């Protein structure tokens, strides 16, 4: 009997009861705005910032309205403006080059390897083209951060990390987000903690974080921030930094704080599901699993594999066959952007020269969400379905050797 998977790839776990209770308290008193507090009260947002800074080991943290807003704020705080060139991954999602464009910058794309991380050799060749690298840890894949930082420091290139897919992850023992001047996180629904939309920004640079706080719309209430630089750091910055309001509210912070407390436990569950799929797909004919470096302590909320050098028709057939059996796969190789699967050559507001080695990898990437609403048995079934359909197409001679 042919197996059919019936789970929903977009269904997240419910908000924890602690989060629902905390959200009810906020709704009952009505003080949703982060600066609307009564005597003796600490805003939920301020407590979330303090707790996230402690969780990541960062000196400072700012909670904002979205992950994209976190990135644009970090870029602005680093001085990126009209016409400035910013290095970034060719393999990323549209909000990353979109953030560069939003501050008037121009993306310069850096290649991707078969491990789905930034190509450090290509980066080394392009470091003289920009003063800032917006590094995307795309889909939770983390490059050799020690080598990357050595390259960037030697070239005086500032690093801003997009950590939307790496909350709780690290390279060796240093969490992502702590390597660059800023680390930018997302709390959008499909991320590791869920408030629908939201973002978190961390830094150990007092002046840069003071600028970010002013940019977020602090209305000179920066002294109410607990995970922030001292008031003296704001002395001049408060006069020269525009308000581009994008604060997080207390309702979302209340929902997030209990989830943050359980992040390590949740991360272990994601990785267990990842391992089941990886083991189930091992040695599938024609399918390449993505390698992981020993230094990479990842947190998996999605799964990727490669169909290297397959033609478009064969990959499309795999996607269709899996869909008919209930397994929802996304392909980054399609000529037209669909959903979140756009590529660097889709973003025509920022044209780039072709990169053949990168194009080969991008043309092969198949992507799948792994929500925690899936059981380990579900993941095993998903792997069996993918394995069967990839093997069937491969063996049908649709893929030429």
* The three-state (H, E, C) secondary structure of 17-83, written as one string: HHHHHHHHHHHHHCCCCCCCCCCCCCCHHHHHHHHHHHHHCCCEEEEECCHHHHHHHHHHHCCCCCC
Domain ranges of the chain: 17-261, 263-395
- How many whole angstroms separate alpha carbon 331 and alpha carbon 333? 6
Mean pLDDT by 10-residue block, N- to C-terminus, for the chain (401 residues)? Answer: 92 96 97 96 97 98 98 98 96 94 96 97 97 97 98 98 98 97 97 97 98 96 95 96 97 98 97 98 97 95 96 95 97 80 82 90 96 98 98 78 46
CATH class held by domain 17-261: alpha beta
Q: What is the pTM assigned to this prediction? A: 0.96
pLDDT value of residue 397:
66
pLDDT value of residue 348:
84
Question: Domain 263-395, what architecture?
Answer: Alpha-Beta Complex (3.90)
Residues listed for the chain:
401
- How many whole angstroms separate alpha carbon 76 and alpha carbon 177? 17
| CB atoms near residue 26 (< 10 Å) | 19
């Amino acid at each position: 009997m042919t197996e059919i998977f019936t789970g929903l790839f977009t269904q997240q776990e419910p908000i924890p009861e602690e989060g629902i209770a905390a959200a009810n308290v906020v709704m009952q008193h009505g003080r949703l705005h982060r600066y609307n507090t009564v005597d003796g009260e600490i805003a939920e947002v301020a407590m979330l910032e303090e707790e996230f800074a402690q969780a990541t080991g960062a000196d400072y943290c700012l909670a904002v309205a979205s992950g994209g807003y976190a990135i644009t704020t970090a870029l602005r705080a680093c001085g990126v403006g009209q016409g400035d060139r910013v290095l970034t991954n060719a393999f990323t999602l549209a909000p990353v080059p979109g953030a560069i464009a939003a501050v008037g910058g121009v993306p310069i794309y850096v290649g991707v390897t078969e491990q789905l991380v930034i190509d450090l050799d290509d980066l080394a060749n392009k470091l003289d083209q920009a003063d800032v690298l917006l590094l995307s840890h795309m889909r939770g894949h983390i490059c050799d951060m020690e080598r990357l930082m050595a390259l960037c420091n030697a070239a005086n290139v500032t690093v801003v990390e997009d950590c939307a897919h790496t909350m709780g992850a690290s390279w060796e023992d240093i969490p992502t987000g702590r390597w660059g001047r800023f680390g930018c996180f997302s709390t959008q629904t499909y991320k590791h903690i869920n408030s629908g939309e939201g973002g978190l920004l961390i830094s150990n640079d007092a002046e840069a974080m003071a600028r970010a706080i002013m940019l977020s719309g602090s209305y000179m209430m920066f002294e109410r921030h607990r995970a922030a630089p001292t008031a003296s750091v704001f002395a001049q910055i408060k006069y020269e930094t525009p308000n581009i309001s994008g604060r997080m509210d207390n309702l979302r912070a209340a929902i997030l704080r209990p989830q943050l407390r359980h992040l390590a436990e949740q991360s272990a569950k994601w990785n267990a599901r990842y391992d089941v799929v990886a083991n189930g797909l091992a040695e599938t004919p024609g399918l390449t699993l993505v390698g992981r470096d020993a230094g990479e302590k990842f947190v998996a909320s999605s799964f990727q594999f490669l169909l290297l050098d397959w033609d478009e028709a064969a990959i499309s057939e795999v996607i269709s066959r899996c869909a008919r059996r209930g397994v929802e796969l996304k392909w980054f190789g399609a000529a037209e952007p669909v959903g979140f699967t756009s590529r660097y050559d889709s973003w025509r507001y920022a044209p780039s020269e072709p990169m053949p080695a990168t194009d080969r990898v991008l043309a092969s990437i198949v992507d799948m969400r792994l929500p925690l609403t899936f059981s380990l048995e579900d993941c095993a079934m998903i792997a069996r379905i993918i394995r069967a359909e990839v093997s069937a197409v491969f063996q049908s001679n649709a893929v030429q050797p």
